[in-house]
Amino acid sequence: MSRVRSAALSGVLALSLLGLAACGSDSSDSDEGGASLSSVTIEGEHGKAPEVTFDGRLDGTKTETEVLIEGDGEEVAEGDTVEAQWWIGNGFTEEETQSTWGEDGKGEPQSLEVGDEVLPFLAETMVGNNVGDRVVLMTPSDEAFGEGGGAQFNLGNRDAALIVVDILGRKDTVPALDGPQGEEKTPAKWAPTLIEQDGVITGLDFTDAREPSGNLLATTLIKGDGAVVKTGQTLTVDYLGQVYDADAPFDESYSKEPAEFPIGTGSVIKGWDERLVGRTVGSRVILEIPPADGYGEEGNEAAGIKGTDTLYFVIDILGAS
């Protein structure tokens, strides 16, 4: 069943939030009246850009909120740091005005602390809802963004703002590990050997590794002694990726900062979603990922990955929140 709430929470407008505000416009205020939230069709999976279809101008005087997809994660409270993505539309012009997914649907999730310093619509759609929820809010522009703030999103003060928010993860205050921590294990014979320099992983050696099997495989080098990774959490990891039998990695974080991303939500390649959920913090694993569970037939031209390449990753799970 869906949950419905009304009345937007107040908050301090922060137009510089995450650098996502669009250029302002002279969008005119709408007349009173118009359709309700039920007139809008919103399709798509949680974590993916929504497909929004309007059926007439929305009422710019009322506030309606509904949870379209219910998650089973932890409840979000004020002061929590949350990973989320959102889509904003103008209920008067019936047009998209801003989306964290971007035009190609591949934009990165945003991390923010839910409180007075964020745009009011973020608190309204997150506080009291759960990780994994997709929440839709219809509300007057000035309640969503603060007085005059809607102009930054091409909405007049009395235009209805339509906002879809996906709550992807909540970050706890437990600090990430500096490296893998747990019980050492003997890796499977198919796995490549780690190449290290001064204790830092710099590549994978396929000399004694088996040729790709065409299956999605994982083997544990260190079984972490931390918490179990759950769908919807935000992982902190160090990683290195290399195409089978290549001389050098196509990407790595060991020489930089650890990476953070939601897991199990479609924000990363399928092989990571399927093989990292259920493991424990502190683990070091090696993944063998066939094209179907990686970048598909198109590959990843920017990384030099062809649609036929099998990918290998060594991944250190340093934190999950």
- Residue 23, pLDDT > 50, answer no
The CA distance from 73 to 233, in Å, is 8
Greater confidence, 267 or 166? 166
Read off the pLDDT of residues 135-149 as tens digits, 9 standing for 90 and up.
999 999 999 998 877
Domains within the chain, CATH numbers bracketed: 4-171 (3.10.50.40), 182-320 (3.10.50.40)
pLDDT tens track for 175-211: 789 999 999 999 999 999 999 999 999 999 999 999 9
pLDDT in tens, 38-87: 999 999 999 999 999 999 999 999 999 999 999 999 899 988 889 999 99
Q: Which pair of tokens denotes residue 100? A: 């964290």
When the pLDDT of each residue in the chain is averaged and rounded to a whole number, the result is 87
Predicted confidence (pLDDT) at residue 2 exceeds the cutoff of 50 = no
